């Protein structure tokens, strides 16, 4: 490998950067809108105590809330996106910090809404919903509010909890700044003696290269940098867990798991079904490790071998070609759907495409009603970048259609649903490539990518969910927790998943929890596994030609949060209250292992 360096932000061609001017023409315009929004917050106090004056007054007040929420959402998005694409931009850092403060202030200013609605009473509000047309859209919101009534506190307590949002976000911000900006990673050393820069945005590419020495040194140096700060990283995550426990108790739940699942009306059985099904299917992973070890021709498989290519030269897939392949794979959803995606990627600049110095690791879809559903990624012109683009476009099309068809109150769809749309896209595109492309080498690459994705969703994420449950329960019980204990918990879980076919480096494997900022979103990671389960079930309906499968899926995307997530999925054709969809997706995993074994001999 030859030594390479990341370009600076200003060296990236504008057509490959997100369309920031479509949101605000300049940071100065953002500052002006920020100031206007901040100045408008005190005026909400004028509404306090008057929501019960009558249905027309309540409808007027909710209109004010909706308009303010849209403005705040755009202000926060612009600051966040600017920061994530270049964490070294100090102006963006300042705007991001201000936006986080505004978020907390807004929650505090709006905190009286739910307590006042509860004080009006469910029967009265139901009558108002029937008599005032502008309130009709709030029927589900109000019904859900009374379902949650026991956990909504007084206006004063809700205001205080809202004010805590800003300082509580500090743990997430600290983790991101430390891992994305301040950690120093020793460069990897390739077999030819050259050095390759290691960073959160380059690691994935190095681990997917054929040079085993580069993979080994990159993975070890990346883990070692986190181990150097293991106590700081642990203290920060423990603080976040304690914040979760505090809020759980403040809202009078019995556990953090119950509290996290309660808002979306999801029974704990959904979480435990996933964990139980995962543990039952661990032998399938052991078989995959054995096939991969033999295919690579190594005596012992290490963690840094998980992403190593099983073929020779990997196909080069440019960003533009990736866009066309994604559009081809999603063609069963109709010309309109495909046209929106193609225009977003190639003309409207939804996507911040390539890596640069200071860019946050990973990829995500982000936006707000009133903006495009933007995407941040780091394209490497390969099958993995193609899959990442498909994944994030699933999120973006979910957002696009939700924002188009739902009012503000329902335009933030559940995290439980989010990973369904993204993985649906990937499943459809893989099926298209395996059916239309004849190159066996490409087939291996498609299956490798699928296995890597399943590894993330059906291996790493269930383990992180188990780690999260264990660490939360320890804090809930008042037990101590520190960096070494967290490393040991993680290492034990990974050891079970690796079995006898994989080497375990207890310290370097055990620090994995520190590399996932997802853990700062309470009980988020398990939803990756339930999401991919729903995705494969919905994609299969279309691939086998079920009547109305495509229209059912489009209706799912348009629904937003206007109903409970489990009910939305049931209408689309999948029931996640049982383990069936999870079992079916593990069957997909097993069949991928079978296909790979035949292809690589």
User: 271 and 164 in one domain?
Assistant: no
The pLDDT assigned to 148 comes to: 86
Question: Are 150 and 258 in the same domain?
Answer: no
Asked if 36 and 139 sit in the same domain, the reply is yes
Looking at 99-234, which runs of residues are DSSP E strands?
188-189, 195-196
In this predicted structure, what is the pLDDT of residue 523? 92
Q: Which of 168, 199, 230 is the last residue of a domain?
A: 168
> For 286, what's the count of Cα atoms within 13 Å in the CB-facing half-sphere?
12
What pLDDT shows up at residue 3? Answer: 46
pLDDT of residue 440: 85
List 247, 392, 448, 449, catalytic entry:
392
Q: Which of 168, 191, 206 is the last residue of a domain?
A: 168
161 and 264 assigned to the same domain: no
CATH of the domain at 142: 1.20.140.70
The answer to the question of residue 360 being in a domain is no
**477 found inside a domain:** yes
Angle made by CA atoms 534, 535, 541, in degrees to the nearest 5: 95
Q: pTM of the full predicted structure?
A: 0.84
* Domain boundary residue, one of 149, 168, 187: 168
Same domain, 117 and 264: no
* CATH code at position 288: 1.10.1370.20
Host domain of residue 144 = 9-168
pLDDT average per 10 residues of sequence, the chain (601 residues): 74 96 97 96 93 96 95 96 94 93 91 92 96 96 90 82 80 80 91 92 88 97 96 93 92 92 92 94 95 93 95 88 97 98 98 93 93 96 94 98 96 91 96 88 90 93 97 95 97 96 96 93 92 94 94 97 96 93 90 89 70
Contact 107, 160 (CB under 8 A): no
Answer whether residue 594 is part of any domain. yes
- 373 occurs within a structural domain: no
Is 370 within a domain? Answer: no
pLDDT of residue 441: 85
441 Cβ partners below 8 Å, 6+ apart? Answer: 311, 312, 315
Cα torsion through 129, 132, 133, 137, rounded to 10 = -30
Domain match, 400 and 282 both = yes
pLDDT at site 4: 57
- DSSP letter at 316? P
pLDDT of residue 161: 81
Please check whether residue 152 is in contact with residue 62, taking contact to mean a CB–CB distance below 8 angstroms: no
| Chain position carrying tokens 């994705």 | 453
d(CA 39, CA 463): 45
What letters, b where the CB count within 10 A reaches 16 and e where it falls short, cover 314-343? Answer: bbebebeebbebbbebbebbeeebbebbee
Q: What does DSSP say about strands 351-352 and 374-376: parallel, antiparallel, or unpaired?
A: parallel
Phi-psi region of 66 (alpha: psi -120 to 50; beta: other; left: phi over 0): alpha
Residue 565 counted as domain residue: yes
Count of domains in the chain?
A: 2
Q: What local confidence, expressed as pLDDT, does residue 1 receive?
A: 53
**pLDDT score recorded for residue 425:** 98
Active site residue 158: no
Contact assessment for residue 489 and residue 471, using Cβ atoms and an 8 Å cutoff = yes
**Buried/exposed code over 513-545 (b: 16+ C-beta within 10 A; e: otherwise):** bbbbbbbbebbbbbbbbbbbbbbbbbbbbbbee
**Which residues pair with residue 188 across a beta bridge?**
196
Specify if 40 maps to a domain.
yes
The answer on 594 and 450 residing in a single domain is: yes
Residue 272 lies in a domain: yes
Q: Are residues 467 and 564 in the same domain?
A: yes
Residues 575, 538: Cα–Cα separation, whole Å: 11
């Amino acid at each position: 490998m030859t030594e390479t360096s990341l370009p600076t932000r200003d060296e990236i061609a504008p057509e490959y950067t997100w369309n920031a001017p479509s949101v605000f023409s300049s940071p100065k315009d953002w500052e002006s809108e920020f100031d206007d929004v901040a100045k408008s917050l005190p005026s909400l106090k004028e509404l306090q105590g008057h929501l019960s004056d009558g249905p027309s007054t309540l409808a007027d007040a909710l209109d004010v809330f909706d308009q303010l929420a849209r403005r705040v959402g755009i202000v926060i998005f612009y600051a966040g996106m600017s920061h994530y694409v270049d964490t070294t931009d100090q102006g963006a850092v300042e705007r991001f910090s201000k936006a986080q403060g505004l978020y907390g202030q807004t929650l505090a200013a709006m905190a009286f809404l739910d307590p006042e609605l509860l004080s009006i009473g469910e029967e009265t509000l139901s009558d108002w919903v029937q008599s005032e047309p502008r309130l009709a859209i709030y029927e589900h919101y109000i019904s859900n509010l009374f379902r949650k009534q026991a956990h909504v506190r007084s206006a004063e307590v809700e205001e205080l909890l809202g004010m805590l949002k800003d300082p509580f976000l500090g743990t997430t911000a600290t983790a991101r700044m430390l891992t994305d900006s301040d950690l120093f990673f020793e460069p990897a050393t390739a077999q030819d003696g050259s050095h390759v820069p290691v960073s959160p945005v380059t690691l994935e590419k190095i681990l997917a290269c054929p040079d085993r020495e580069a993979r080994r040194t990159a993975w070890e140096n990346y883990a070692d940098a986190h181990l150097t700060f293991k106590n700081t990283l642990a203290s920060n995550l423990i603080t976040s867990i304690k914040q979760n426990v505090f809020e759980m108790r403040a809202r009078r739940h019995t556990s953090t798991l119950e509290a996290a699942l309660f808002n979306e009306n999801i029974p704990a059985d959904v979480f435990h079904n996933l964990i139980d099904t995962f543990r039952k299917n661990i032998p399938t992973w052991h078989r995959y490790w054995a096939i991969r070890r033999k295919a690579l021709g190594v005596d012992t498989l290490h963690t840094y071998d998980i992403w190593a290519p099983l073929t020779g030269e990997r196909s080069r897939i440019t960003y533009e070609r990736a866009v066309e392949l994604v559009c081809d794979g999603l063609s069963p959803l109709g010309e309109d759907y495909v046209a929106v995606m193609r225009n977003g990627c190639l003309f409207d600049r939804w996507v911040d495409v390539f890596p640069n110095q200071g860019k946050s690791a990973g990829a995500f879809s982000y936006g707000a009603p009133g903006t495009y559903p933007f995407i941040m990624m780091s394209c490497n012109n390969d099958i993995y970048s193609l899959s990442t683009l498909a994944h994030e476009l699933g999120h973006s099309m979910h957002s696009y259609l939700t924002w188009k068809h739902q009012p503000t109150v329902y335009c933030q769809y559940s995290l439980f649903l989010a990973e369904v749309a993204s993985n649906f896209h990937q499943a459809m595109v893989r099926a298209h490539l395996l059916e239309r492309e004849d190159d066996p080498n490409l087939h291996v690459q498609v299956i490798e990518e699928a296995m890597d994705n399943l590894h993330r969703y059906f291996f790493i994420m269930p383990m992180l969910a188990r780690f999260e449950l264990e660490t939360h329960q320890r804090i809930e019980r008042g037990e101590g927790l520190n960096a070494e204990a967290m490393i040991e918990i993680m290492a034990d879980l990974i050891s079970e998943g690796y079995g006898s076919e994989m080497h375990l480096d207890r310290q370097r494997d055990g620090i994995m929890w520190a590399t996932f900022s997802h853990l700062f979103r309470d009980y988020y990671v398990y939803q990756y596994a339930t999401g991919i389960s729903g995705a494969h079930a919905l994609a299969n309906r279309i691939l086998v030609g079920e009547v109305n499968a495509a229209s059912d899926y489009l209706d799912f995307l348009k629904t937003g949060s206007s109903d409970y997530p489990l009910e939305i999925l049931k209408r689309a054709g999948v029931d996640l209250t049982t383990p069936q969809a999870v079992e079916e997706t593990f069957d997909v995993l097993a069949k991928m292992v079978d296909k790979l074994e035949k292809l690589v001999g």
